[in-house]
């Protein structure tokens, strides 16, 4: 098997996401209805016809992005008549997308995944209010160079960290606002094409999220998470994980840790993956993968037309 399913993270949301799947496939409608029930809120209405600012709130965006991803996957399984073990050799997700990957691999139920992501969004938002932070995308520097940048931007009290290694030349940093702003000033001097401060509400994937990590550990202790039926690539280790207890530990570490996406994709390539299918809204991950593995076959599935195009792919 040479195929992997990948699941996007925050930033992939848009009003109208998933509606085409909801309107055309009963299995997709079932997914959205179950997620609505799990989060005790008509999230699907916000997704299909709501306000973008409201949808972008972390507490809404996280379960919404996952719901669209899982609806797309369920449609693929139904239309091909194959389960995920028959279709793919790995699953991986970017940040919150890792929860979608775990759900896809049978480690978490859809209901529990939606509940966890709603809680994760709430806890991250709370942590960002208590420990204000910022994030910035550094373009045109290597990971090693961004490490040097981060070290230069930190002082004894204001610090920043690597949050996401998205692909060569695109690294996101996170931390105290003052350190991020200093890094943004220093980056061009070090040869960066640009350093863009991102429109986010906190210093995600950094130690500023420690309180959220503690609360997620409490949530995960109460959650039934079993061994996945196919390996899930962890953001923290950038390797395949199949042990439920280890996965729980890594999900806690992921809240404050770096998303090692470049290494995750390279790991799957090393294991023989040639085809990557992004399940959900938008094309963020396939765009990154194209830069990491230029000769990979890439596919996006988030609409009825894309489903129809995908059927010959499997």
Q: Establish whether 205 is a catalytic residue.
A: yes
Record the tokens describing residue 132, joined without a space: 């204000």
Query: How many angstroms from the chain centroid is the CA of residue 145?
Result: 24
The catalytically annotated residue of 12, 89, 205, 258 is: 205
C-alpha distance from residue 242 to each of 90, 229, 232, 236 (Å): 11, 8, 7, 14
Distance (Å, rounded) from C-alpha 86 to C-alpha 222? 31
The catalytically annotated residue of 12, 69, 95, 234 is: 95
Q: What angle do CA 146, 147, 152 make, to 5 degrees?
A: 90
Instruction: Write out the E strands in the chain.
Output: 3-7, 90-93, 134-139, 160-167, 170-175, 194-197, 232-233, 240-241, 275-279, 297-301
Task: Look at residues 61, 168, 34, 84 and name the one whose alpha carbon lies nearest to residue 92.
Answer: 84
Distance (Å, rounded) from C-alpha 146 to C-alpha 162? 8
Is-contact 105 89, C-beta < 8 A?
no
Block residue for tokens 């509606």: 19
What is the bridge-based pairing of β-strands 170-175 and 134-139?
Answer: antiparallel
Is-contact 268 93, C-beta < 8 A?
no
Q: Establish whether 95 is a catalytic residue.
A: yes
Distance (Å, rounded) from C-alpha 61 to C-alpha 64? 5
- Helices 244-256 and 97-104, axial angle in degrees (round to 10): 170
Q: Which residues of 50-82 are buried (b: 16+ CB within 10 A; e: fewer)?
A: beeeebbbbbbbbbbbbbbbbbbbbbbbeeeee
The residues annotated with a catalytic role in the active site are 95, 205
């Amino acid at each position: 098997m040479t195929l992997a399913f990948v699941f996007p993270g925050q930033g992939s949301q848009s009003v109208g996401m998933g509606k085409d799947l909801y309107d055309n496939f009963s299995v997709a409608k079932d997914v959205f209805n179950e997620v609505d029930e799990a989060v005790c809120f008509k999230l699907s209405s916000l997704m299909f016809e709501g306000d973008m600012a409201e949808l972008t709130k972390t507490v809404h965006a996280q379960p919404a992005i996952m719901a669209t991803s899982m609806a797309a996957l369920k449609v693929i399984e139904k239309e091909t008549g194959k389960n995920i073990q028959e279709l793919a050799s790995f699953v991986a997700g970017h940040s919150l997308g890792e929860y979608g990957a775990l759900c896809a691999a049978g480690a978490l139920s859809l209901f529990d995944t939606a509940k966890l992501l709603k809680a994760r969004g709430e806890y991250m938002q709370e942590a960002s209010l208590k420990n204000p932070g910022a994030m910035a995308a550094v373009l045109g520097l290597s990971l090693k160079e961004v490490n040097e940048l981060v070290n230069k931007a930190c002082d004894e009290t204001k610090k920043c960290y690597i949050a996401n290694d998205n692909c060569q030349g695109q690294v996101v940093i996170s931390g105290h606002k003052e350190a991020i702003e200093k890094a943004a000033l220093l980056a061009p001097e070090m040869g960066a094409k640009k350093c863009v401060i991102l429109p986010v509400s906190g210093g995600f994937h950094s130690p500023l999220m420690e309180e959220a990590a503690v609360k997620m550990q409490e949530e995960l202790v109460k959650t039934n998470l079993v061994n996945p039926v196919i390996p899930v690539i962890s953001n923290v280790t950038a390797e395949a994980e199949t042990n439920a207890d280890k996965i729980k530990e890594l999900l806690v570490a992921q809240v404050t840790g770096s998303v090692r996406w470049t290494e995750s994709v390279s790991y799957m390539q090393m294991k023989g993956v040639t085809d990557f299918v992004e399940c959900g809204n938008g094309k963020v991950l396939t765009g990154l993968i194209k830069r990491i593995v230029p000769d990979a076959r890439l596919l996006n599935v988030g609409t009825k037309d894309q489903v129809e195009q995908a059927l010959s792919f499997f």
